[in-house]
A and B are shown apart, each in its own frame.
Chain A
């Protein structure tokens, strides 16, 4: 039986296809560990209480809030962050669409928006404005009024 401990635990996290072995306190969230231990600061931390969606990452292909998961829970799961969705050079087709449609202003929500929208596009289902808005309803943007974000995601389908 595993011994309970409030001491730091050593875990191996699979992030963007790479294994990272890190020593973490049980109370550190996945968002904290991504940013502070792994240096993956593309995952943003906004409200820290499960409302804004800025910290969204893919867990086994599904979008989820990294501020509402402890890093120690994530051993054996595949994590993908915005860094993992961005090509070595240039932008992904979805990122290009965001650029083309001016789908960001301050940019704080953008990584979370892109992660959630990627999972939606990966489902390969035809999109309507309604399904895009529903899929993005857990990601808050305080600048754009959402219209250009919805436009960008609609435009990116097919091309991704």
Chain B
């Protein structure tokens, strides 16, 4: 199974990659982990004239943690976040999402930023990073812009990325308290795309009041969706069963799934409700004070 013929450039620097994109126009495409791009090229859904390989650019590897938050380079792979114990304290949702991505072989090569740029509506990272309030940095030869992820994701396999731009970094703001987050996924078989994916993230202050909340949904719309009304319902209250049920019902309303062989619209909506409730309850249990202290 051969892709259509294409040219190949291994970029030696980000500037070189940007210069090639500026010169070549829409026929050129960035190659990072290739775990979505190669299958599309083999099926000839994608036929780029030129691939610009950035998978080893030092400027795009690894991450930086600062007082403002976390910046992930464009070629950070799923498996790196799965194993990053140092990120568990402030960004627990990352590792808990990474372990759900495809299978270990894909996680070893595929990148988080590539997954966002691919914008599969059933992709897990869109939901998780929306829940974390992430933004993306887009660079071209002539400009740099930062977009909230919510504005970057446009439609099915469609983002705000221009042909001459590279998604160079993902920024996640530092939580203003103790963060708790988890990802729930319904898949037909191990390693499959999400029938429904739900990311829940809450930040609690010292009095166990929710000060930040993020709920992201995968597989239930033309792109990953946020559930702003559900998030708003959680803020300012302790994480308790009444509020959790209300948020779950609001999140189900934010979902906009289609009926297909994986389930009906009503079924998928109900899975969203159940997962949001289940996820938030799990976070509430995790956040309880130590044994011997009554809340």
> With the chains together, A102 CA to B5 CA distance in Å?
43
- From known contacts A6-B6, A26-B8, A76-B56, infer whether A69 and B109 are also in contact, taking CB-CB under 8 Å: yes
- From known contacts A48-B42, A137-B190, infer whether A26 and B105 are also in contact, taking CB-CB under 8 Å: no
- From known contacts A137-B103, A137-B191, A138-B191, infer whether A68 and B109 are also in contact, taking CB-CB under 8 Å: yes
Min CB–CB distance B99 → chain A (angstroms) = 8
- From known contacts A62-B79, A135-B104, A138-B106, infer whether A48 and B1 are also in contact, taking CB-CB under 8 Å: yes
Interface size class of chain B, counting residues whose CB lies under 8 Å from the partner chain: 35 or more
Is B35 among interface residues, defined by CB-CB distance under 8 A?
yes
Closest to B2 in A: A27
B residues 16-31 touching A (CB-CB < 8 Å): 16, 19-20, 24, 31
Interface pair B7/A5, CB less than 8 Å apart: yes
Q: Contacting A68 at CB < 8 Å: which of B20, B24, B34, B191?
A: B34
Interface pair B7/A64, CB less than 8 Å apart: no
Q: Return chain B residues, CB-CB under 8 Å to A67.
A: 38
Closest to B77 in A: A62
Interface pair A50/B35, CB less than 8 Å apart: yes
Interface size class of chain A, counting residues whose CB lies under 8 Å from the partner chain: 35 or more
A residues 72-109 touching B (CB-CB < 8 Å): 72-73, 75-76
> With the chains together, A64 CA to B109 CA distance in Å?
7
Interface code A18-30, partner B: CB below 8 Å = 1, 0 otherwise? 0000000111110
Min CB–CB distance B115 → chain A (angstroms) = 14
Closest to B36 in A: A50
Q: Contacting B20 at CB < 8 Å: which of A4, A62, A76, A116?
A: A4
- From known contacts A4-B50, A27-B2, A73-B55, infer whether A138 and B102 are also in contact, taking CB-CB under 8 Å: yes
- From known contacts A48-B1, A49-B39, A49-B42, infer whether A65 and B6 are also in contact, taking CB-CB under 8 Å: no
The 5 closest A-B pairs by CB, nearest first: A138-B103, A4-B7, A26-B8, A138-B105, A48-B1
Q: Which residues of A contact B (CB under 8 A)?
A: 1-6, 9, 25-29, 48-50, 53, 56, 59, 62-65, 67-70, 72-73, 75-76, 116, 134-135, 137-139
Q: Which residues of B contact A (CB under 8 A)?
A: 1-10, 12, 16, 19-20, 24, 31, 34-35, 38-39, 41-43, 50-51, 53, 55-56, 79, 102-106, 108-109, 190-191
